[in-house]
Structure 1
Amino acid sequence: MELQLLDYLIIFGFFALVLFIGIYVSKKSGQSSTEYFLSGRSMPWWLLGLSMVATTFSTDTPNLVTDLVRSNGVSGNWGWWCFLLTGMLTVFVYAKLWRKSNVKTDLEFYELRYGGKAASFLRKFRAVYLGVLFNVITMASVTLAAIKIGGVMLGLDPWVTVVSAGLITVIFSALGGFKGVVYSDFFLFFMAMAGAIGAAIYLVNLPEVGGLQAVLENENVKDKLSILPDFDDKKALITALIIPLAVQWWSSWYPGGEPGGGGYIAQRMLAAKNENHAIGATFFFNIMHYALRPWPWILVALASLVVYPDIASIHEAFPNVTEDKLGHDLAYSAMMTKLPTGLLGVVLASLVAAYMSTISTQLNWGSSYIVYDFYKQQINPDATEKQMVNVGRISTVLLMVLSAFLALALQNAMGVFNLLLSFGAGTGLIFILRWFWWRINAWSEITAMFSSGILAVLLETTSLREYLFAPETGIFPEWADLPFIMVVTSIIWLTATFVTQPESKEVLRSFYLKIQPGGPGWAKIVDEAAADNVEIVKTNEKWSVPSGIKAMISGVVLIYSIMFATGYWIYGEYQLASVLTALVVLSALILLKVWRGMKNVF
């Protein structure tokens, strides 16, 4: 595939725009660490919402969706669609709590909620564990997708893609800080959406594909179309739908889908003007992320089954791709090679935009952990604002280098996705409950973190998985590994919670006074404070969580209805699509009514 002058103009014009934004905001971003990592807490909801969407629109996402569709059908996407429940819970329950906390990173929360050496250790350790280890793995997965795109579409060696894509991104990220990331995300979002939609329309109508109807009727595609798994296939039903909806969404920690909010989603909520803007940003993000964005990728994945029905056909068409990088996820890049001049430039620019948005966010978020939660806490407590900004820029470069080396060793995006889910299995319930149950302490989180990680490693590196989950001889069904980790981890952290001392009265009362979480889980602390003539309740407002859960359920129904209705309109199943569209209207009205009845909402 050869790029023409128009393609180069589009791509380099985009690079110039992003670098200009980074340089333009670099002076103000470098004034203080709060500016560099949170943009002075002055961001509006719509800009933060677009930034969240752009960040999760990474180069590995269309590859992952393509892999899921080609391997397991459209219903395979429930592995990540289930996190909508987490997202809606964050919108209507946790967004205002995060903004009210006024912490600089979500890890600073540990020393707000817990006390003593255990809280200090937890904050520092997770700064390295999440900010470096998990962050580098996530960025390596994104960079792996860029390597595959560069190899298939442009015939580039992996190291050429890593150096060229990474260099511009790290320069832009180190200069512009959080404000540069968010401002550029505004343009990156529209570029990425234009590329995804334009590519889907063109590729479905290729002569060798034959149009939408031909795709839907193709023998390679027919059994992949269902949005829900086959209810007669017990294994598929359990693995694709029941486990994600019943267990995975609340029990697993995953970047961008953390139960109770966290990571770069929390960073954006903390950067919002106020609680209302934090809520508005996360709600807007969830609508765009789940309801509107998946279908262009799904259509390309389905069309790819017509042109490249298996991995062998992909390898035949692209013999220069090495064996260790072959997989169904390559089909997305393979289809992109068929785009015409102009649209090809837009799509390549959109993929670069997706890459830069995700990597720049991960770099800024990860370096914020290193600066606030490790460097300032462990190495230099008296660090000046200038020193913290400089450390942030240095750590940004180092994180990029580490992820680049790891990306060269990885093979498949889905494998990374599943590994991260396993590492976080069983920890999610703590992140949900720690705001509303006084008895959870720092040891609860420490034991959950280590037990889930150790179990995940054991299952991946030993014969334990075969012994427990082998199809014929295992003790448990083969789909039970994630629930197994969740159950064992939950038992361990609950045991640790009750055999260790609770947090001190001073810590618990200080947390309640600042956050005002309310609810029965804090009744003991409130009553004891009142008995000691200590006033920690500052409001007479009704506990907002029940209303928040009602809004969450309405929001979930609304967004899933939009997503399903869109799919069935595309499939030409107009009667079902009409019913779902009516459900969209009804659930929107219910949500609006519930929302108006809540206090402190957007």
Structure 2
Amino acid sequence: MPPEMPSQPLSFLDGLIVLLFIGGSLLIGYFLSRRARHSTDEYFKGGGNMGWFMLGTSMVATAFAADTPLALTGWVVTKGLSQNWFWWSMVPITMLGVFFYAPLWKRANPQTDMELVYQRYSGRSANALRVGKALWLAFPFGCVNMGWVNKAMTVIINYTIPEFPRLPLVDSLMLWLVVATPLSSQVDPQFREAIQSGQLQPMEIAYEHGLLRQPAFWSAYQSGAYGSSDLSENNDQARQRRQEGWESLALGERHALDQPRAMQGVPPEAVAEGWDAFELTHQIYLISSTVNQYKVLFLLFLVVVAYTAMGGLWGVMVTDFIQFWVAMIGCLVLAWLAVDRVGGLESLFSQMHDLYGSNRAGAMMALFPQEDAASYGLFTRPEFWLLILVFWWSYAFTDGGSFFAQRMLSARDERQAALGYLWYGVAHYALRMWPWLLVGFVAAVMFPHTAYPDGGMPSGALAEAGYVRVMLEVLPTGLLGLMVAALFAAYMSTISTWVNLGASYLINDVYRPFLAPIREQRIRQQKGQQDFAFEESHYVRWGIVATLLIALAGILVALFMNTVSDAWFFLAGFNGGIGVIYLLRWYWWRINAWSELFCLLSLLGLSLMMYALKDATVAQSSVVLWEGTALAIPVASLFDFPYSLLVTVPLSVLLALIATWMTPPTDLSVLKAFHRRVQAGGPGWRTIHRLVLQESPGFVAHSPLNVRSLLLWILSSAGVCLWLIGLGKLIIGDAFVAEPSFPSFWLGILLLVIGSACLIAVACWFPRKAPGDNPSTS
């Protein structure tokens, strides 16, 4: 039976470290607030004077969210190590962005990546695209990203601060929110009614009896570890297990398991038919723990919004920089102590063999999916090949848009933008993830993901919580506070970025170009001031309001999510295809606003259609495409990611290209101006280049499309991939290989040496001065 946790896992010293860290973040926002309020350029772009190390680290910090270590820990036991190709497969497109797109973004230099729409397209279709994409990226896309980060943070809060001090007003507000939203979807309706009517006070019961101190215990309960609440459905062994579980609780010492209506403080009408006292207590826990999680999340969110609203992008990037190094140091220390706790790597892998069996453990720990992976429910070879062959070049921001573009636009020049993106690629893929995975390996041993006595399996959410459970188990006082601060740092850096970015979309792409002119015209007519125009401070104030709006929306979206990785796959499936159009818009003049619009609308329609048909006959089909081969794909799987890419990518791109040819091209004056400014060059702009030369015979386009950029792309992609695989070989070695043909240790050393040589070559051949820094426009 799980031992009872202390009322607060964090000691006074731990809590003090966390509070000092949060206070420091607020001070940074305050000190940078005056600088940020000078203009929207300072607020949303940091004045455009950032160096590569600062902006690249900020990118890594944003991508290192609180959700990432949790999801990777869960994958170790639920999908296997090879599931990480979901993001490892993105190495080539990231490096493509370094050499072929980062310079173009800096040359275009829009206020936001959405403002690029006006530089590249023309007419009403450009207006529609800019507003539609800005709203889409600010709310559904951005808020889903914030939603899964918030979801992960609730898990961290549930384990590290299970009993936050009571705050009557905030508690009442959160209780109302929980009962009135999908957060209480697992709670019985008549139980909710008793809370809404005031007959039942779940927080009082939970705090009095310490119900919130065993989150892992209750997660196991939800997975079926203690049998059914209907005692008649349990066999003798299940009844005994349930009785022991009930008696381990403080309430179990006072109340009989089969007499739930006798529990003090609970009106009899709140108890549903078929419940025993264990299930009733579980319902109280569900409500109370959710209130506690969102109470802390709400307070933490206020801190993030405060320094983001005060400091703008400067506040975000400076805190990102500090938070990243705090987070990485904390993760490295945790990985070291966790491995030491289980006796070192050799002992760790030996225990995995014993717990999961040689075959399953080998499949779980393989860097590449094994042939028998499907039989264990792990990541399979067809899924791997779909990510390698389709996903990386078709998903969402293939050209470095969104917060990547925001960071690159803040760079001092295009060379700093490219170097920052390169540093992000190396740190993001090759360096930061192995400490998380090491903790995931330890969690697989300390908290085995094995079947319960009745055959049920622990939930994916419980597997993801393994990272936090290891942290609480192995870290001493002080270091635990540092690690909690590190996870808070990861959370805050990501949320602050998405909040600031979403606000910039709303202000610069919706309010300023479309709504503010209407308000200005109305004021001119009312006051008779024909030259009236809003000052920059007006837009900064509305930017703060937009920041608060985006922040609230991010919390609300988290209410509808189950696990972090499920949200990742949902968003990845919805955006498969638009990446092709994002790549083409820079290097082919014929792409127009309709191309993007039709691709986005077709993805929306296809996603909704596949969701609606998921439970239809075709989704239940037993037909397997290419059966008997390594690419065997069940037809029913086409409705789930990544197999859905086989439908969404070709159809959305085809419809977009049809729309391209059936609609007028962008106005020639816009295309010529874009070519002069951005100088993408290449065959796709040859037609426009001829027209520009007729007007400016001396014009020279400094295109990134050259042999040097191609070689640098290949070398950097190879270097990063060799490093991440080489480190894996060094760490795992031959622990799960019966007869290795070549020792993994020496293979890892060889891969690291070759990878280092590739990255050193990139550093030596990287242009000392970007040719487009002083573009020719004569």
TM bracket, shorter-chain basis: over 0.9
Deviations 1:153-187 (A, max 9, x none): 32252222321221111111111111011111121
Q: Is 2:530 the partner of 1:369?
A: no
- Equivalent residue for 1:491, pick from 639, 654, 678: 654
Q: Is 2:718 the partner of 1:557?
A: yes
Letter in 2 for 1:497: T
CA distance in 2, matches of 1:508, 1:537: 18
- Equivalent residue for 1:9, pick from 13, 16, 28: 16
CA distance in 1, matches of 2:484, 2:548: 24
CA distance in 1, matches of 2:29, 2:410: 18
- After superposition, the Cα gap between the structure-2 partners of 1:333 and 1:378, relative to the gap in structure 1 and judged at 3 Å, is same
Q: Is 2:762 the partner of 1:591?
A: yes
Spell out the pairing of 1:153-552 with structure 2 (5 A cutoff): 153-156=160-163, 157-206=292-341, 209-217=342-350, 218-219=352-353, 220=356, 221-230=361-370, 236-253=379-396, 258-310=397-449, 326-338=461-473, 339-381=475-517, 382-463=533-614, 467=618, 470-472=621-623, 475=635, 478=638, 480-530=643-693, 533-535=694-696, 538-539=699-700, 541=702, 544-552=705-713
> Which residue in 2 is equivalent to 1:320?
none
Please list every run of 5 or more consecutive structure 1 residues that lacks an aligned counterpart in the other structure. Answer: 314-322
CA distance in 2, matches of 1:231, 1:528: 56
CA distance in 1, matches of 2:109, 2:542: 22
Letter in 2 for 1:184: T
8 Å CA contact retained: 2:78, 2:460: no
> Which residue in 2 is equivalent to 1:319?
none
8 Å CA contact retained: 1:69, 1:77: no
Shift of 1:536: 7.7
- After superposition, the Cα gap between the structure-2 partners of 1:502 and 1:356, relative to the gap in structure 1 and judged at 3 Å, is same
Spell out the pairing of 1:566-581 with structure 2 (5 A cutoff): 566-572=727-733, 573-581=744-752
Shift of 1:34: 0.7
8 Å CA contact retained: 2:371, 2:380: yes
Deviations 1:306-343 (A, max 9, x none): 12222778xxxxxxxxx999342122122222122111
- After superposition, the Cα gap between the structure-2 partners of 1:470 and 1:580, relative to the gap in structure 1 and judged at 3 Å, is farther
Deviations 1:120-165 (A, max 9, x none): 1100111110012211111011000000111123225222232122
Deviations 1:204-237 (A, max 9, x none): 222xx33211222222344321111125769955
> Which residue in 2 is equivalent to 1:28?
35
- After superposition, the Cα gap between the structure-2 partners of 1:265 and 1:584, relative to the gap in structure 1 and judged at 3 Å, is same
Deviations 1:335-362 (A, max 9, x none): 2221221111011000000010000011
Q: Give the match's secondary structure for 1:350.
A: helix
Letter in 2 for 1:117: R
Letter in 1 for 2:348: V
CA distance in 2, matches of 1:327, 1:401: 27
CA distance in 1, matches of 2:85, 2:484: 28
Shift of 1:540: 6.0
CA distance in 1, matches of 2:364, 2:52: 37
CA distance in 2, matches of 1:369, 1:524: 33
> Which residue in 1 is equivalent to 2:46?
39
Shift of 1:480: 2.6
- Equivalent residue for 1:112, pick from 119, 126, 129: 119
Q: Give the match's secondary structure for 2:492.
A: helix
Shift of 1:466: 6.3
> Which residue in 1 is equivalent to 2:152?
145
8 Å CA contact retained: 2:680, 2:703: no
CA distance in 1, matches of 2:620, 2:772: 46
CA distance in 2, matches of 1:199, 1:443: 50
Relative to the length of structure 2, the TM-score reads 0.72
Q: Give the match's secondary structure for 2:643.
A: helix
- Equivalent residue for 1:88, pick from 95, 99, 106: 95
Letter in 1 for 2:142: N
Deviations 1:15-56 (A, max 9, x none): 121111011111111111111111111111111111111111
Shift of 1:587: 1.6
- After superposition, the Cα gap between the structure-2 partners of 1:106 and 1:536, relative to the gap in structure 1 and judged at 3 Å, is farther
CA distance in 1, matches of 2:451, 2:312: 43
Q: Give the match's secondary structure for 2:113.
A: coil
Relative to the length of structure 1, the TM-score reads 0.92
Letter in 2 for 1:366: G
Q: Give the match's secondary structure for 2:657.
A: helix
8 Å CA contact retained: 1:276, 1:601: no
Letter in 1 for 2:366: S
Please list every run of 5 or more consecutive structure 2 residues that lacks an aligned counterpart in the other structure. Answer: 1-5, 164-291, 453-457, 518-532, 625-633, 734-743, 774-778
Deviations 1:264-309 (A, max 9, x none): 1100100001111101111111111100001011111111111222
CA distance in 1, matches of 2:637, 2:769: 44
> Which residue in 2 is equivalent to 1:318?
none
The answer to which of 397-406 and 268-277 deviates more is 397-406
Shift of 1:541: 4.8
CA distance in 2, matches of 1:160, 1:324: 24
**Matched-pair identity in %:** 31
Shift of 1:241: 2.3
Shift of 1:81: 1.1
CA distance in 2, matches of 1:443, 1:210: 60
Deviations 1:374-421 (A, max 9, x none): 001221035421111111111111111121122133211111111111
Report how many residues are paired.
Answer: 585
8 Å CA contact retained: 2:125, 2:593: yes
CA distance in 2, matches of 1:565, 1:203: 22
8 Å CA contact retained: 2:692, 2:699: no
CA distance in 1, matches of 2:32, 2:53: 19
- After superposition, the Cα gap between the structure-2 partners of 1:191 and 1:585, relative to the gap in structure 1 and judged at 3 Å, is closer
CA distance in 2, matches of 1:476, 1:72: 19
Q: Give the match's secondary structure for 1:337.
A: helix
Q: Which has the larger radius of gyration?
A: 2
- After superposition, the Cα gap between the structure-2 partners of 1:145 and 1:540, relative to the gap in structure 1 and judged at 3 Å, is closer
Spell out the pairing of 1:118-137 with structure 2 (5 A cutoff): 118-137=125-144
CA distance in 2, matches of 1:159, 1:475: 40
Shift of 1:460: 2.7
CA distance in 2, matches of 1:199, 1:460: 40
Shift of 1:69: 2.0
CA distance in 2, matches of 1:108, 1:79: 30
Letter in 2 for 1:263: S
8 Å CA contact retained: 1:469, 1:480: no
8 Å CA contact retained: 1:72, 1:224: yes
- After superposition, the Cα gap between the structure-2 partners of 1:544 and 1:23, relative to the gap in structure 1 and judged at 3 Å, is same
Letter in 2 for 1:348: V
Runs of 4+ in 1 over 6 A off after TM superposition: none
CA distance in 2, matches of 1:327, 1:551: 43
